[in-house]
A and B are shown apart, each in its own frame.
Chain A
Amino acid sequence: MDNYVPSDETTVEPENPFPAPYNGEDVKIMLVSKSSKFSKINGHVREYFTEKPDCNRFVIYKSTNGATEKAISCVEVFKQQFEEPIYQWTRAVCSKRVVLWKCQQEGPRDIRVTVEVPVIFIVISRDPFPGEYSCMSMQCSSDKDIAFLPALRSSKKSAGGKSDKKDKKGNRRTNEGNKWTKPTSEQRKKEHKERNELLKEIESSKNQ
């Protein structure tokens, strides 16, 4: 790559992945970059919500230049600070950054490098989302459970593969089906008792 120099860089911005009414042109989109300040962005959103409480019901946070963690943190902070329950809908898409590397020597072709950067879109709404769009990407600030917890509970029950092996290990601990494990003290006492009874029977039969 010594003889190549970047000549042109274009970024293909992704479209808003949400359906109407969250993808209109008049929708408020907060662009969050790595240098954005929580207080400024969240203060602006709070002002927007309180300015016209009847009209301004939702805002979209969008990350730029790969600042997805910042956008998520921003939303998490806003959810904790806002008094009312807030409904959240998260979606991630890819933006394409195409860089053209030109060769300084004659002969080799130019190189076109495409880098896909994740962009996160988060809708913050004061109203619940319509039922027709219902999906697992939606959550509410009043939810105290861990994300996907109901799904986790069901997956624990129906998990296959290695989890079966774990179950076998569990059986081993209870000494069911594995004869090589060390017996527990109760099992040893039981075996000792049975042995003593057998010995007594043998001795009594000899005496007779």
Chain B
Amino acid sequence: MSIHMSTTPSKRFDEKINTVNRRPPVKPCEEPNHIYITRKTNVESQAKTAEEMLNNSFDEIYIHGMGASVNKALVFAMEVERKFGGSVKSDIQTSTVQCTDDIVSLLDLEQTDTRHRSVSAVHVHLYRAAS
């Protein structure tokens, strides 16, 4: 049994005879002080966790958000910053993340294509300001 793989330059495909499996994006770091915000993240509860982290475990945390969750990541970062008053400061950087999708044909399951998408991402570095 052989699986044929090819990379399609075009993003278009027939949705009737194909299905898309989105691979999870690669995380730049797996450390516990890196928080990845998704569309499903609860900002309030995550803000509490971040507050505890900054109070007890870490002097700095990193917040990452990509695509539709960029706005949420910024809201979250500002919420944490607001909770700490002026004692926590932030640095913001942006980047483009390459995501890969597998396009599987429903007619021939052995035939798989991949599609690459560029997604914008935001990275916020929250750190305790030197007093």
A interface, CB within 8 angstroms of B = 66, 68-69, 72-73, 75-76, 80, 88, 90-92, 94, 116, 118, 120, 122, 135-137, 139, 146-149, 151-152, 155-156, 159-163
Give the Cβ gap from B16 to chain A, nearest Cβ, in Å: 29
CB atoms of B78 and A155 under 8 A apart: no
Residues of A within 8 A of B121 (CB): 72, 147
B74: which A residues are within 8 A, CB to CB? 68, 92, 118, 120
* CB pair A69 B31 closer than 8 Å: no
The closest CB in chain B to the CB of A122 belongs to B94
Q: Whose C-beta in chain A lies nearest to the C-beta of B75?
A: A118
A91 to B90, alpha carbons, bound, how many Å? 9
18 A–B contact pairs at CB < 8 A? Answer: A68-B70, A68-B71, A68-B74, A72-B121, A76-B96, A80-B96, A92-B77, A120-B92, A135-B91, A136-B93, A147-B28, A147-B94, A148-B93, A152-B62, A155-B62, A160-B58, A161-B32, A161-B58
A137 touches B91 (CB 8 A): yes
A160 and B93 within 8 A (CB): no
* Docked pose: A80 CA to B71 CA in angstroms: 22
B67 within 8 A of A: yes
Q: Is B42 an interface residue (CB 8 A)?
A: no
Q: How far is the CB of A125 from chain B (nearest CB, A)?
A: 15
- Residues of B whose CB lies within 8 Å of any CB of A are 28-29, 31-33, 53, 56-58, 60, 62, 67-68, 70-71, 74-75, 77-78, 90-96, 118, 120-123, 125
Once the chains bind, are B94 and A66 in contact (CB under 8 Å)? no
Complex contacts, B68 vs chain A, CB 8 Å: 69
Measured between alpha carbons, how far is A47 from B64 in the docked complex, in Å?
33
Contact (Cβ within 8 A) B120 A73 = yes
> Is the contact region of chain A dominated by helix, strand, or loop, or is it mixed?
mixed
Select which of B77, B90, B94 is within 8 A of A75 by beta carbon. B94
| Contact between A156 and B31, CB atoms less than 8 A apart | yes
Which residues of A have CB within 8 Å of B90? Answer: 92
Contact A76–B71 (Cβ < 8 Å): no
B78 touches A159 (CB 8 A): no
CA distance A162 to B33 in the complex (A): 9
Contacts of A162 in B (CB 8 A): 32, 57
Kindly identify which residue among B56, B58, B70, B92 contacts A159, using a CB–CB cutoff of 8 Å: B58
| Minimum distance in angstroms from A204 CB to a CB of chain B | 55
Residue of B whose beta carbon sits closest to that of A120 = B74
Complex Cα spacing A81 to B67, Å: 20
**Taking the nearest CB of chain A, how far is it from the CB of B102, in angstroms?**
24
**B31 close to A148 (CB less than 8 A):** no
- Min CB distance, B47 to chain A, in Å? 13
- In order of increasing CB-CB distance, the 3 nearest A-B pairs are A161-B57, A147-B93, A136-B91
Please state if A152 and B94 are interface contacts (CB–CB under 8 Å).
Answer: no
Residues in chain A near residue B32, CB distance under 8 A: 159, 161-163
Residue in B58, B78, B96 whose beta carbon sits within 8 Å of that of A94 in the complex = B78
Task: Determine if B28 and A152 form an interchain contact, defined as CB atoms under 8 angstroms apart.
Answer: yes
Q: How far is the CA of A88 from the CA of B29 in the complex (A)?
A: 23
